[in-house]
Structures are given as structure tokens and as C-alpha cells.
Amino acid sequence: MRFLAARLAQLVLVLVTVSAVSFLLLNHLPGNPIITLLGPAATPQAVAQLTVQLGLDKPAWLRYFIWLGNALQGNLGSSYVNHQPVLTSIGQRLPVTLELLVLSQVIALALAIPLGIISALRPSQLVDRLSSGAAFGLLSVPGFILAELLVYLFAVRYNLFPATGYVHLTEDPFQNLRSLTLPALTLGLGSMAVYMRVLRTDMIATLQQDFITMARSKGLPTWWILLRHALRPSTFTLVTVGGLNVGTLIGGAFIVEYIFQVPGLGLLTINSIYARDYLVVTSTTVLVAAGFVIVNLLVDLLYTFLDPRVRSARFAV
């Protein structure tokens, strides 16, 4: 319980700091939403009127506390630009980002787990050398380069998947999957390289432990030992790294959403930064930070499931 209380206190601290920093930082940027709304040729009277109307004449710190007060009551304010409530736009964008996230992680794990297991079973053999080399190479490809490579291969050369043009799930589930294939693949391949490497390293260590020797000497089949005995205790680092990755991606994979024009949280955030839509950016930033902290908490709880021995060590503080 003390563990949970400490983590909740940490969450509050992180959220307040992150929201304050992003709010004040954004407000000190050159430009403001008025210019976005009225254009550069607006008359001074119109600018002054709109400034008062939107409440932008108050100092930034005061507006931050007003926003914080409203946010605590569940009202994140409205966009200055299109007057849509921030909660509504987040509600529209979040499912898209989450779908992309799930797809990418499915791709990553579907590739990483088998490759990691085979590599660990026979280290320095052909499969291990090939997949380790490929993983190392993939880790050195920045996401935006990988994205353009995939666009070139699958959209330009062979017209298999669209490069942009997101189709909503409710419109056409098949086209929806097609439109998300390339972005999910970009994210998934990047994650896959990391996952495979950490799983391989942990798995090699697990396979040298006594209980594996025991299982072998009992004559259990190799696949059974690998999947039922060795896999679960070998996933600690994988779960940690995966949790961090997911925590980061909840806020939207900014560059990938930007390149493929996927209308998720990342694209919303980038566009709102350009438009100086302070409340939207602050809200999404807070959401990202919250997601990150919560996912990490879940990861810590998951440890106890992966290895019950951790429970006593962790909760007996």
C-alpha cells in the first residue's frame, strides 16, 4: 500500500510539473492563437477584442491556475482555434493512436519473441547472427528514414498500401487496416529490434540456470522447456522496455503520425503547437505524462506476476 501511495504522489507531482512547464513554455513562444485565427492583416481593434474575449489578456500564470482549477473538475477547456472542447478532440484522436499502438506492438512481438528464443537457443549460430545483425541495423535507422523507405517500397514501387489517407475503422475495417499498415510497420520494426535483443540476452541467462538443466534432465522436449519454463522468467527486461515504449507511444508517435498523416494524438499535438493552441498542447502533454507514469506502475505490478519472488522483495519495504 505504501508503494502505491508513493507512486500516486509521484504521479501528481509529475503531472503538475509537466503541465506547468508546458503551459508556461508555450505561452512564451513568439506568436499566439490570435494570429492563427485572424491572420497577420487583422486590425488592432479586432486583435484587442479577441484577446479579451479569449481571456488571453490575463497573465500566463493566472491562466494556468484557472486551467488547472477547471481541469481538476474535469474540464480541460476548449481549443482557441476551432472552439472544440479539448476533451472531445482527445476522445476522437486517442482511439486512433491506441489502434496504431496495438498494431505496432503486435507486429513487434510477433517477430521478436520467436526470433529472440531461437537466437538464445543457439547463440552465434546462423539465425542468431542474422537476426542480431538485422536488429542492430534496424536500431540505427531513424524512424523517419524507415518510414520513407517503406513508403518507397510499398506505396511508390509496389502499390500495396497507401502512404497517407487514414480510413476510420467504422467506415471500412479492411481499408482501415491497410491505411495503418505502413505506420504500424514503421513503429513495430523499431520496437522489434529492441525487444529481440533484450529477450535474447535475458533468455541466454535463464537457459543457464539450474531449473532448466533439471527440466532437460527430466527429458522434457526443448520447445516445452523454452515456452513453459524459460520464456516467462526471461521477460523482465522485455516487459520493462516494452512498458516504456508503450508509455511513450501513448502520446502518439509524433513523427510517424506526421509522415503518414494519421489523425492521432501526435498529429493533434504538432498541429496545435504550430497554431499556439496552448490548452490543447498542455492537455495532450499531461495525458502523455500520465500515460507514461501509469504504464510504468502497471509494469512494476506485472513483475510480481512474472516472478512471484519479487512480491516479497518489493512490497515488504
Partner 1 sequence: MRDSPSEPRLTEAVVAAAAPVAAAPGSLNGAVSPAGPAYVGRTLGPGFWISIGWVVLMILAALAAGVLPLQDPTAIGDNLPRLGPTGGHLLGTDELGRDLFARVVFGARTSLIVGFSSIAFGIVVGGAIGLIAGYYGGRLDAALNGLSTVLLAFPVLIFLLTVVTFLGQNLFDVTLTLGILSVAPIARIIRANTLAYANREFVLAARALGARSRRILIREILPNVLPSALAFSLVAVAVVIVAEGALSFLGLSVRPPTPTWGGMIAEGGQVLAQDPLVALWPALAMFMTVLALNFAGDRLQVYFEVREGGL
Binding test (CB under 8 A) with partner 1, winner from 64, 80, 161, 254:
254
- Tell me: does residue 124 bind partner 1 (CB under 8 A): yes
What part of residues 55-114 is at the interface with partner 1 (CB under 8 A)? none
Q: Whole-number minimum distance, CB 200 to partner 1, in Å?
A: 8
What's the CA dihedral at 216, 220, 226, 229 to 10 degrees? -80
Strand ranges for the chain from DSSP E: none
- Tell me: does residue 132 bind partner 1 (CB under 8 A): yes
What part of residues 189-228 is at the interface with partner 1 (CB under 8 A)? 190, 193-194, 197-198, 200-201, 204-205, 207-208
The grid coordinates of residue 119 equal: 537466437
d(C-alpha 110, C-alpha 57), whole Å: 53
Q: Which is nearer to partner 1, 181 or 206 (CB)?
A: 206
d(C-alpha 28, C-alpha 305), whole Å: 46
Q: Could you tell me which stretch among 15-23, 49-57, 81-89, 175-183 binds partner 1 (CB under 8 A)?
A: 15-23
- Tell me: does residue 136 bind partner 1 (CB under 8 A): yes
Number of neighbouring beta carbons within 10 Å of residue 250: 21
Closest Cα to residue 13, out of 313, 297, 290? 290
* Residue 19 burial by Cβ neighbours in a 10 Å radius (0-12, 13-18, 19+): buried
Phi, psi for residue 16 in degrees, rounded to 5: -65, -45
DSSP state letter for 209: S
Q: Could you tell me which stretch among 6-14, 95-103, 169-177, 212-220 binds partner 1 (CB under 8 A)?
A: 6-14
Give the chain's radius of gyration (CA, Å).
24
- Tell me: does residue 17 bind partner 1 (CB under 8 A): yes
> What residues line the site for partner 1 (CB under 8 A)?
10, 13-14, 17-18, 21-22, 25-26, 28-30, 123-124, 132, 135-137, 139-146, 148-149, 151-152, 156, 190, 193-194, 197-198, 200-201, 204-205, 207-208, 237, 240-241, 244-245, 248-249, 251, 253-256, 258-259, 269-270, 273, 281, 285, 288-289, 292-293, 313-314
